[in-house]
Amino acid sequence: MAKGIPQLEWCIVRLGSDHNWWVDEVSDPVHWDVDGLSIIDPRQVDHIIESIDPLREFGFEPDILERAFIPFRIAKDLGKGRVRLARVKEPLIESEEKLFALPDVIDDENGPFADFLDHITRLRVKLLNDMFDFEEKLTVDEVEDQLREQQNTDFMEGKAVHAFYEISSILDFMPEGYENEDEEAEGKAVKAEEDDDDLPDIEEEEDEKMKNDASLRWDDEDDEKHEDDADLDDKEEDSEDDPEEDDEKEIKNARRSRPSKR
């Protein structure tokens, strides 16, 4: 097995046009063939661990995942999309460091990576049978046949199958005719979250009610009334204090009191 081979201490990887990482060189070319050898990057490792979480209640064994991969950390950026990686002994699941994961495919049919794929396939079948009321229980053979058919199509088209695709195709597998139901369930969950986001805060609602409550606006009304009374008083004072208006009134009264000429 690869983990028991001390020669495999580093590898050089490149970023492919498909945005996946592929191995160019290894420290142990005797036991490892780099032709079409893929490696999982830290972002993909996180996605796999997250996607596996629902399988825990159906018997997922973390040790099977740990045995399936050889962890590496970045040692040096070589430029032009190439990176040198150094092997580490940290577990993938518990590590806080961003690690690459090289599938142990020295024995691609009976090795640790093959065991891991078989393990998550069986658990995915258990999950789907628990999730849906099939007329007949879904079997591992049915799932493997459908997955193998797609892989054979890619092979005939000359496409190299990346390890991340192999794993994701299992963890995301849905039987024919049930894809839409799964998408609708996810859509409803997203819609519910969006509706929750649209709801106003309680404090905003109460504040709006207080603004529209007439019983809480007496201060404003009194202020307006006081302003009107103050304006009226000012007008009266201006009228009383104007001396010209008082002189005009006295002249008019004197004219009315004069006797008329016959």
pLDDT of residue 236: 52
The pLDDT score that the predictor gives to residue 156 is: 82
Per-residue model confidence as pLDDT tens digits over 112-148:
999 999 999 999 999 999 999 888 999 999 999 989 8
Q: Is residue 114 a part of any domain in this protein?
A: yes
Note whether residue 185 is domain-resident. no
pLDDT in tens, 209-220: 444 545 444 444
Give the residue from 124, 145, 174 where a domain finishes. 174
Query: Does some domain include residue 181?
Result: no
Q: pTM value?
A: 0.67
Q: What is the pLDDT of residue 116?
A: 97
* Integer Cα distance of 32 and 12 in angstroms: 13
Q: What is the per-residue pLDDT across 16-54, written as a single tens digit (0 to 9) for each?
A: 999 999 999 999 999 999 999 999 999 999 999 999 999
- Token pair belonging to 12: 């050089």
Residue partners of 126: CB distance under 8 A and separation at least 6: 58, 59
The kind and range of the H/E element at 253 are helix 243-257
Assigned domain for 35 exists? yes
User: 55 lies in which domain range?
Assistant: 2-174
Residues 169 and 220 in one domain: no
Residue 245: is its pLDDT beyond 90? no
Given a cut of 50, is residue 204 above it in pLDDT? no
The predicted structure's pLDDT at residue 192: 42
Same domain, 89 and 154: yes
What is the rounded CA–CA span in Å between residue 9 and residue 200?
Answer: 57
**Residue 262: per-residue pLDDT:** 37
Angle at 67 between CA 65 and CA 71, to 5 degrees: 90
| Residue 184 forms part of a structural domain | no
Tokens 């997203």 belong to which residue?
190
